Structure 1
Amino acid sequence: MARKQSWSELSGGKKVLVVVVSLAQLALTVAGYRDLAKRSADEVEGSKLAWGVAMLANWVGPIAYFAKGRKGLGLND
């Protein structure tokens, strides 16, 4: 197995990529929490608390919430 590189060992392009991907993940998570906070419990499939916890799971949680957690969008009806 290859040794993980430290931040200082990464090239400039790789550093930019890490920052961009991290910001995209953060934006997706913030958007998910914001949407969850604005919706009533009736507009959410399942428990709002459970979705809040699920969104802590990197990319999977927020994507699952947007795909399956919201009611009334014509996708889950």
Structure 2
Amino acid sequence: MTITKKDLSPIARAALGLIGIVQVAFAFLAFWDLSHRDDADVRGPRSAWVPVILVNWIGPAAYFLFGIRR
């Protein structure tokens, strides 16, 4: 059985939309930070972080937790 758009309540659809917007914003912030940070402040090559950030939720979180030298 698959869930279709008709099966979701309007509140559930709004919640999923909000979660999607937050996820895209999180990835955007990670990309923005990566592009504005000096090479010495990023662990590993920048080109390796681009596909990592594209992994939903986990990628941007990994970049912010492990990709930035403090």
Question: What TM bracket, shorter-length normalisation?
Answer: over 0.9
Aligned counterpart for 2:45 among listed residues 34, 44, 47:
47
Please identify runs of 4+ aligned residues in structure 1 that moved more than 6 A: none
Shift of 1:5: 1.1
**Of 18, 34, 40, which residue of structure 1 is paired with 2:32?**
34
Identity of aligned residues (%): 29
Q: What displacement does 1:4 show?
A: 2.4
**Structure of higher RCO (CA pairs closer than 8 Å, 6+ residues apart):** 2
Q: Which has the higher helix share?
A: 2
Cα RMSD, aligned residues only: 0.9
Structure 1 position 47, deviation (Å): 1.2
> Which letter does structure 2 place at the counterpart of 1:70?
I
Query: Unaligned regions of 5+ residues in structure 1, if any?
Result: 73-77
